[in-house]
Amino acid sequence: MAQMLLRGSMSRVAGRCRSEFGDLPNWCLSTTTHHQEDLKKLGKILTEAATEDKTVIITTLNKAWSEPNSTFDLFLHSFHVGKGTKPLLRHLVVACLDEEAYSRCSEVHPHRCYFMKTPGIDFAGDKMFMTPDYLKMMWRRIEFLGTLLKLRYNFIFTIPFPRLSKEVDFQIACDRYSGDDKDIHNAVNGGFAFVKANQRTIDFYNYWYMSRLRYPDRHDQDVLDQIKGGGYPAKIGLKMRFLDTKYFGGFCEPSRDLDKVCTMHANCCVGLENKIKDLRQVIVDWENYVSAAKTTDGQIMTWRDPENCMKQWWWRNKTKQVLSENSKENYLNIMLFIKTYIILNFCLPMNNIRKFFFCFGSIFVNR
């Protein structure tokens, strides 16, 4: 089958890697190829799924997450419990990591499933944190995101997120937030990012992906921590912003105000079942909050501590927190993203990427 090398921002000249910004290390050049036929299938699915303003929601799925009553069912259910989110299902595209996931997706969400093939690697099972297969899957995710940027699709983020800046190239969530959205010492979490696609982000994702060779046996988030404060982002002029956990919280540092929360992320937690159980609890808390907002004034609402995740290392010495008060008016939409999920907003023609939004293991709440 004919193959093509996706056009990136780098080239090899006289044994060196170069970008428009100058020489890069020798390990920088990505050699990933993608079948042209598969790319045509992806383009067709994206075109059919796009809204009038060319918005498409994309998430990824493997066999473990697609099992009945597992993450995918919970994910689809979340579109039904949110206010106004059910119509968005027709715009949801699922990038499947294995054949079993593709088969299940085709049953429950037909005509919107894309088989993201990775020859020689089985991504079907639950990949425990920091195992070799987990690392491969995380780096495949970064590679896929970089590919989407290189494809030059036109991604426009149109879902109303006032907390995300349109002027910043790369915005990412934090496990813990220092209070300064420009502080490179913020502890980043790769599960939630908002990326404006341009030459700077194409180069950065290439650099990030190939940096795994400099930091073997580390996952993508650890490597990002190593490179985010280095000279390369400054050299290419990348504008980077770290998102406040007040709005983009998680189990590590929960959002304290339910009137302001945009996401709840299942971080500081290991194990698929633990995340599923505690995110279900978050859904229940959210539904109670929305119900109280319609009927009760002045009622104090909180997230309950995650019962399963709190048994793990990070929660052993954690004190109970009251996360919000006076939650009465809220008509937020809710979408659930468990494990690796990506939101991409497309505007055709497909020759200019603008932005994509990526979410991993989070509850997404949108005003």
Residue-level pLDDT at 224: 92
Q: 252 with 318: CB under 8 angstroms?
A: no
Span 247-279, pLDDT tens digits:
888 888 888 777 777 777 778 887 888 888 888
Q: Could you report how far apart the first and last alpha carbons of the chain are, in Å?
A: 46
DSSP element (H, E) containing 143: helix 132-150
CA distance 246 to 262: 9
Distance, in Å, from the CA atom of 285 to the CA atom of 291, rounded to the nearest integer, reads: 10
Structure tokens, 316: 């052993």
Asked whether 290 and 85 are in contact (CB, 8 A), the reply is: no
Determine the pLDDT at residue 266.
78
Distances from the Cα of 72 to the Cα of 60, 91, 108, 142, 344, angstroms: 10, 16, 10, 21, 18
What CA–CA distance (Å, rounded) separates 243 from 172? Answer: 6
> Max CA-CA distance within the chain?
70
What b/e readout covers 282-307, taking b as 16+ CB neighbours within 10 angstroms? bbebbeebbebbeeeeeeebbbebbe
Q: Where are the domains of the chain?
A: 36-173+186-243+340-361, 248-335
pLDDT at 341: 28
Q: Are strands 92-96 and 113-115 parallel, antiparallel or unpaired?
A: parallel
How does pLDDT run along the chain (367 residues), one tens digit per residue?
222 222 233 333 333 444 333 343 333 333 344 467 777 787 788 788 877 756 667 777 888 888 888 878 877 877 777 656 678 788 888 888 889 999 999 999 999 998 877 656 554 444 454 456 566 666 676 776 665 565 444 232 224 356 778 789 898 889 999 999 999 999 998 777 777 768 898 899 889 888 988 998 888 888 999 999 889 999 999 999 999 998 888 888 888 777 777 777 778 887 888 888 888 888 888 788 878 765 555 566 778 888 888 765 455 544 444 333 333 322 222 333 333 222 222 222 233 333 444 444 444 443 3
Question: Can you state the angle between helices 99-108 and 71-81, rounded to 10 degrees?
Answer: 30
* Residues 210, 29: Cα–Cα separation, whole Å: 7
Give the CA-trace dihedral at 165, 170, 176, 180, to 10 degrees.
-60
Pairing, β 240-242 against β 170-176: parallel
CB 345 within 8 A of CB 159: yes
Euclidean distance between CA atoms 130 and 138, whole angstroms: 10
Rounded Cα–Cα distance for residues 310 and 48 (Å): 42
Which residue, among 259, 289, 261, has the nearest Cα to 362 in the 3D structure? 261
